Amino acid sequence: MIDTPDTAPLGQAFSAGREGGRRLRFSLGWITRPVFGLALAVIAASALWMGSFVLAAFVALTIVLAAREWHRMVSGQLLTGEFFVTAIAVAAAVFSFAAWPGSVAPWLFVLAGAAVSLVLAVRHRRSPLWEAGGVLYLGVPALALVALRAMSVHGFLIVLAMFVAIWATDTGALVVGKLVGGPKLWPALSPNKTWAGAIGGMVFAIFAGGVVFSFLALNVVHGALFAAFVGAIAQVGDLFESWAKRRFRIKDSGGLIPGHGGVLDRIDSTLLVAPVLAVVVLVVQFDPLGALI
């Protein structure tokens, strides 16, 4: 992300100095955030490596947890019919894709889930577009991710490079944004995100992309460009989730992951990057690894 929410423990580690500078003091967030972040990264990379039904199970579980936070944010209620529809539709979609890659059935599950959620929201006088949109917001990226892994020649490496670029963007934005501070990026969407954080995120992403491509014996400049592309989209995805939370007057989507907030807070960037990258790789037929060797 470009910056951390108000309630994130890491954010409490910074405070203003006597002369308006920024000084650093220790907090528990300095331990919990990297520890849980590393654990999540290892789990995600392992599921990605195994692919197929293991990856489908990981993605389905992640989306179910994210759906719980999304529909709670939209409706103000913990468990709703729309949540269960989203959970079932997306789980059915990713598992059916694992069983029949390339089939139209997974996409029909997502569309059907959105339609049912729309009807339920209208009946319950909630927010129909937000409730139904949540199925698409979570379901399309889930399918895009498993499709990238399964249907592209370098699927594992492409998605792994995407993850590394996103994680580097999040880390750089958080660290630089907190250390430097300065002008706000877009206060109307998110009051905490800064230009320094946005630039720091891009710098970290570009460096990480160069390192990854160098490790794979690929062109370092191409790796930097790939990571810059991913990092820019990731920050837009983060801004959208920040705007949605501001729209419903909440600071965090949840508190399930110590030091990180909710699941939505952790995957907001991926929810936009995955479908965009899937279009580039699977529709445009541009392989960031194969074409750049």
pLDDT tens-digit map of 21-73 = 455 555 566 677 788 888 999 999 999 999 999 999 999 999 999 999 999 99
Average pLDDT score, the chain: 87
pTM of the predicted structure, to 2 decimals: 0.86
Name 165's Cβ contacts closer than 8 Å, sequence gap at least 6: 205, 208, 209, 212, 226, 227, 230, 231, 234
Residue/partner pairs of 116-120 with CB below 8 Å, 24 or more apart: 116/85, 116/89, 117/82, 117/85, 117/86, 120/80, 120/81, 120/82, 120/85
Report, as ranges of residue numbers, the positions in the chain whose pLDDT lies below 70.
Answer: 1-30, 256, 258-260, 290-293
Q: What per-residue confidence (pLDDT) applies to 26?
A: 52
- 3-state per-residue secondary structure call for 148-191: HHHHCCCHHHHHHHHHHHHHHHHHHHHHHHHHHCCCEEECCCEE
